[in-house]
């Protein structure tokens, strides 16, 4: 059985001893969990259902976006789950499953449950094509999904006028006690002659950002994780900090930064507002143009 690894052989998962150390630290922390990321007050459901030509993206929550590109409806890491392990979802999904248009394409960054939720996939409208990391196709087939293509890093496919690329990330994955890193992880880049969108997936900061920048001269919009980074001694190999996400954005030479992977599930010690505050401070520190940072409320759509 193939076991997948990170670039530079970085190990991004921790031991049971490390986990116990984190649990002891967590008991001593006091966090304000009463403030959550806000919902956008005016949803554009009708516009999304009728849109067949304009590029748009809508933040559903966590790493889930509805991206409309080249007349296609694309979902990234679709997760509408009410709970993640013992933790309840902190915020309602920005769009309900019933409000979604028919989905043409689904991309999965990796197999962790907060990024791959089969109960959600069963409820999607349409008959989407699934693009997944190498090693995940077999579980999709066992669950009855046949329109599935799996890719290795740096591979790409053409689909309905969009070139879909699978690029590296620094992470790990597991869905059971016996399948540690038996499937890969990564990010997805969608390219048309007009624009390029990069869904980073789940990652720590790594040398791959510079490699990706060398391969893609122009990246218009980056959907970049900023949350689940605390404590950093535990999380850093697998979850990028807000400060390092800005560093990665600069290295990518991208035009727009859309933050994600914060404020929906409490996967680490940081809160959604903390992650966003640190991002805003670092953005200002680096003197980056304000108009390039696209902070969305949950359910907000950008055309």
Q: pLDDT tens digit string along 186-217?
A: 999 999 999 999 999 999 999 999 999 999 99
Residue 138 domain-assigned?
Answer: yes
Q: pLDDT tens digit string along 139-158?
A: 999 999 999 999 999 999 99
Q: pLDDT tens digit string along 47-88?
A: 999 999 999 999 999 999 999 999 999 999 999 999 998 889
pLDDT at residue 221, as a whole number: 98
Residue 16 has pLDDT above 90, yes or no: no
Residue % of the chain over a pLDDT of 90:
92
Q: For residue 186, what is the domain's CATH number?
A: 3.60.15.10
pLDDT at residue 13, as a whole number: 76
pTM for the whole thing?
A: 0.97
Q: pLDDT tens digit string along 224-267?
A: 999 999 999 999 999 999 999 999 999 999 999 999 999 999 99
Confidence tier at 293 by pLDDT (50, 70, 90): very high
For the chain, how many structural domains are there in total?
1
pLDDT at residue 97, as a whole number: 97
Residue 4 domain-assigned?
Answer: no
Confidence tier at 44 by pLDDT (50, 70, 90): confident
Residue 22 domain-assigned?
Answer: no
Residue 269 domain-assigned?
Answer: yes
Q: pLDDT tens digit string along 34-43?
A: 899 999 998 8
Q: pLDDT tens digit string along 101-118?
A: 999 999 999 999 999 999
Residue 176 domain-assigned?
Answer: yes
Residue 29 domain-assigned?
Answer: no
pLDDT at residue 212, as a whole number: 98
pLDDT at residue 236, as a whole number: 96
Residue 37 domain-assigned?
Answer: no
Confidence tier at 5 by pLDDT (50, 70, 90): very high
* DSSP output for the chain: ------GGG------HHHHHHHHHHHHT-----S--PPBPSS--HHHHHH-SSS-EEEEEETTEEEEEETTEEEEES----SEETTEEPSS--SS-GGG-----EEE---SSTTT--HHHHHT-SS-PEEEEETT-HHHHHHTT--SEEEE-TT-EEEETTEEEEEE--S----SSTT-TTSS---EEEEE-SS-EEEE--S----THHHHHHHH-S---EEEEE--S--SHHHHTTTS--HHHHHHHHHHHT-SEEEEES-SSS--SS--HHHHHHHHHHHHHHTT--GGGB-PPPBT-EE-
Residue 7 domain-assigned?
Answer: no
pLDDT at residue 28, as a whole number: 86
Residue 117 lies in domain: 42-302
């Amino acid at each position: 059985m193939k076991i997948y690894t990170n670039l530079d052989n970085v190990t991004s998962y921790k031991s049971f001893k490390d986990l116990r150390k984190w649990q002891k630290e967590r008991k001593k922390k006091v966090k304000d969990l009463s403030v959550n990321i806000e919902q956008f007050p005016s949803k554009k459901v009708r516009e999304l259902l009728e849109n067949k030509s304009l590029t748009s993206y809508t933040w559903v929550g966590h790493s889930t976006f509805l991206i409309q590109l080249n007349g296609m409806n694309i979902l990234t890491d679709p997760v509408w789950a009410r709970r993640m392990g013992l933790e309840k979802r902190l915020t309602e999904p920005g769009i309900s499953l019933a409000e979604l248009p028919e989905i043409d394409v689904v991309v999965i960054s990796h197999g962790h449950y907060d990024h791959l939720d089969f109960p959600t996939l069963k409820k999607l409208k349409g008959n989407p094509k699934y693009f997944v990391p190498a090693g995940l196709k077999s579980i999709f087939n066992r669950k009855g999904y046949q329109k599935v293509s799996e890719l290795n890093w740096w591979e790409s496919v053409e689909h309905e006028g969009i070139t879909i690329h699978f690029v590296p990330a620094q992470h790990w994955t597991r869905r059971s006690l016996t399948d540690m890193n038996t499937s890969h992880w990564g990010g997805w880049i969608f390219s048309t002659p007009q624009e390029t969108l990069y869904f980073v997936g789940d990652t720590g900061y790594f040398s791959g950002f510079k490699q990706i920048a060398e391969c893609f001269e122009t990246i218009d919009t980056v959907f970049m994780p900023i949350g689940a980074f605390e404590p950093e001694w535990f999380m850093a190999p697998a979850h990028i900090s807000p400060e390092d996400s800005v560093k990665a954005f600069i290295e990518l030479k991208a035009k727009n930064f859309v933050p994600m992977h914060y404020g929906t599930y409490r996967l680490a010690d940081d809160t959604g507002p903390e992650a966003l505050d640190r991002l805003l401070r670092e953005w200002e520190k680096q003197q980056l143009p304000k108009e390039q940072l696209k902070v969305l409320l949950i359910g907000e759509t950008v055309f």
